[in-house]
Amino acid sequence: MIRAYVFDAYGTLFDVQSVSAVTDAAFPGHGEIITQVWRMKQLEYSWLCSLMGDYQDFWSVTRRALTYTLGILGLRPTEQLFEDVAEAYNRLAAYPDAAEALAGLTGVRRAILSNGSPAMLQALVGQSPLAPFIEETISVDAKRCFKPDPRAYELVEERLGVAPGEVMFVSSNGFDIAGAKKFGFNVARISRVPEAALAAELAAPGPLAASAFYRALRTQEEALGHAPDVVVTSLSELVALRTEG
């Protein structure tokens, strides 16, 4: 029996691509490449920090990833402009299907487990339409490690009092899906970029857009042998699947 639905935040409930309006306004003509490299480096730095035993919270990781991204492009923002751009990660847009899905999952615990720091998640979730439907917003900061480290997933049982087999973990991120499944959760993958559509985009003639490169690396299921139990194309499908089950 599923007693809790636990959601990843970045890329699952909240659209990391929504920073593009800020990055392009700050650096016209560079918005797309900044958006994609920034997100890829943000994740890479979280894994590097975990592997090196050099934990820094996700806000620090996010800022360092932005510093790297602007540096390789030769962009030198003022201190205030840098802060304004970094702050975009605290104001991500929620996906249109998120609030309706969360509202429909009645009778079970609904929580977020995220790499985000407590302050980031408070800012992000608190100002969003999702806040009324989230019982717990859990940051990996309590374990001083990032997903997919198993210690991060332990926080769900500690905070919600549910066993891994009683959890449906929902994510769009391949690394997170693999980590959660290996840990013992039931896992639902939200496929926001269909494999066939991505394959057609990658096979099309002409230069490959930075956003397509990002989608190829970060939006698909990993080939690591830890497949999700369910794949949905919209979060609203979770409500229907639960009813059918």
Catalytic residues: 8
Instruction: For the chain, give the DSSP string.
Output: ---EEEE--BTTTEEGGGGHHHHHHHSTT-HHHHHHHHHHHHHHHHHHHHHHT----HHHHHHHHHHHHHHHTT----HHHHHHHHGGGGSPEEPTTHHHHHHH-TTSEEEEEESS-HHHHHHHHHTSTTGGG-SEEEEGGGTT--TTSHHHHHHHHHHH---GGGEEEEES-HHHHHHHHHHT-EEEEE-SS-HHHHHHHHHSSSPPPHHHHHHHHHSS--SSS---SEEESSTHHHHHHHHH-
Asked if 65 and 42 touch (Cβ cutoff 8 Å), the reply is: yes
